[in-house]
Amino acid sequence: MKYISTRGLSPALSFSEILLGGLAPDGGLYLPETYPQFTDADLTRMRGMQYADLAFAILSRLIDDIPAADLKAIIDKTYRAEVYAYTRPGQNATDITPTLKLENNLYLLCLSNGPTLAFKDMAMQLLGNLFEYVLAKTGKTTNILGATSGDTGSAAEYALRGKKGVRVFMLSPNKKMSRFQTAQMFSLQDENIYNIAVDGVFDDCQDMVKAVSNDAEFKAKYKIGAVNSINWGRIVAQVVYYFKGYFAVTDHNAQHVSFSVPSGNFGNVCAGHIARMMGLPIDKLVVATNENDVLDEFFKTGVYRPRGSANTYHTSSPSMDISKASNFERFIFDLVGRDSSKVRALWATVDVGGAFDIKPLLNKLPDYGFVSGSSNHAHRMQTIRDAHQKYAVTIDTHTADGLKVALEYREVNIPMIVLETALPAKFEDAIVEALGALPSRPAALNGIEALPQRFDLMDFDVTKIKQYIVDKVS
Ligand SMILES: *Cc1c(COP(=O)(O)O)cnc(C)c1O
């Protein structure tokens, strides 16, 4: 299987060749040349598989340049019950992504039982093990540089801590993350993890990362890498749990299900799109946004209008606070019939801060199952209270956005599965506001705020971060 760029001007590469990179050299995103197809007989065989076996059945069709036995070992090491242990009482951690029935034909797919209590662990843990394998094989090293407002940085650090050949330099805005998120990251004592608290906001951190990455000479000399949401390895790992969720709530392959996905950068729901293209019987893919509704606007009007960071709202579902949806180009590539010249033309305006309008293609959207909706703070609070009262389940603010929009698209006899993208313990303040009480927290994480913290403070200064990297690497 070769991977091609959505912009069509970069050579096709194998999985391992794109694993450590980000954008293709032509500015596009990588996608498989063709989507492998799962037949009715395949689905029947996969039904009932344990998570790791299911992951191997899917990923081995997309990754053909890692020997099958090695890939199997990497997957088995990643998807173990001990890694995804923070299940609710009564759930079985060996399911890795257990489903929780809310009522007839309405389910949560619990994706947030990993070490950092958000769905990003599902992909990042695999990426960490793949990185270690590929680096060891090629004798290379990498220095991952990233900016985080919480979820991505912690998931990356827990996936890469202690890994050979990798250092992680993670910038976060000083005193702007929740106490829990700060404690999760800063309490890590691993030597290859560097937490840098920047005197500024998230956008300042991101600007520093961009400035370093734009210095091609520095980037090459110090082997600067990234694990951001456009990484194909992350998308591909996320495809697996759509299959797992489908099998969990159906008993034969003629049944269809819908998924509702709390969305920001379009990475999670893009994996759902790919699962559907591979033959998984998905009826609807519900794109749920918060007040930052650039995706909802597109799916309703055909206009894609990124907002810019000055027009991005800070909301109570902060991991969905995006100005543009970095993975969206992958879907548009399929929507325009994989015509890369069309994608280039559309992004020629987007890349300089503009918008595009493809209204004439709106009638094609039903072929892909996409629908959308948005949610705001009041909706989230109400949805959290409703779920608590009706189903005795506490959900986090992001999952609440997903549930709120899911309820607008339910159909008789089609199970609706809402992806749970974080556990409520991660966003305690919002839960206290909605329910008047703290959410429960996995016992192993009690008191993490009191652990010794390891981080360095830094001004908003590109020279300083470069010097910091130079010092630590040499
Ligand atoms: C990252 C994140 C999202 C958004 O996922 P995308 O793949 O960027 O669309 C939603 N909820 C939570 C809790 C997240 O951490």
How does pLDDT run across 376-409, given as a tens digit for each residue? 999 999 999 999 999 999 999 999 999 999 999 9
pTM score, whole prediction: 0.96
pLDDT tens-digit map of 200-232: 888 889 889 989 988 989 999 999 988 888 999
* Mean pLDDT value across residues 120-137: 95
State yes or no: is 120 an active-site residue: yes
Predicted confidence band at 431 (pLDDT cuts at 50, 70, 90)? very high
Query: 271 CB less than 6 Å from ligand 1?
Result: no
Residue 449 has pLDDT above 90, yes or no: yes
Give the separation between CA 392 and CA 90, rounded to whole angstroms.
Answer: 14
CA distances to 158, 200, 399 from 319, rounded to whole Å, are 18, 18, 11
Alpha helices for 314-407 (secondary structure H): 328-335, 340-350, 377-391, 397-406
Ligand 1 center–CA 420 separation, angstroms: 10
Of the CA atoms within 13 Å of residue 100, those in its CB half-sphere come to 24
CA distances to 215, 458, 459 from 198, rounded to whole Å, are 20, 5, 6
Ligand 1 center–CA 319 separation, angstroms: 5
Query: 265 CB less than 6 Å from ligand 1?
Result: yes
Nearest to 387 by CA among 369, 373, 370, 400: 400
**Domains present along the chain, CATH in parentheses:** 95-117+233-435 (3.40.50.1100)
Q: Out of 77, 101, 120, 175, which one is annotated catalytic?
A: 120
Alpha helices for 189-231 (secondary structure H): 202-214, 216-221
Give the separation between CA 345 and CA 259, rounded to whole angstroms.
Answer: 31
Query: 253 CB less than 6 Å from ligand 1?
Result: no
Residue 309 has pLDDT above 80, yes or no: no
Cα 260 to chain centroid, rounded: 14
End-to-end CA distance of the chain: 38
Helix (H) or strand (E) holding 468: helix 462-473
Residue 233 has pLDDT above 80, yes or no: yes
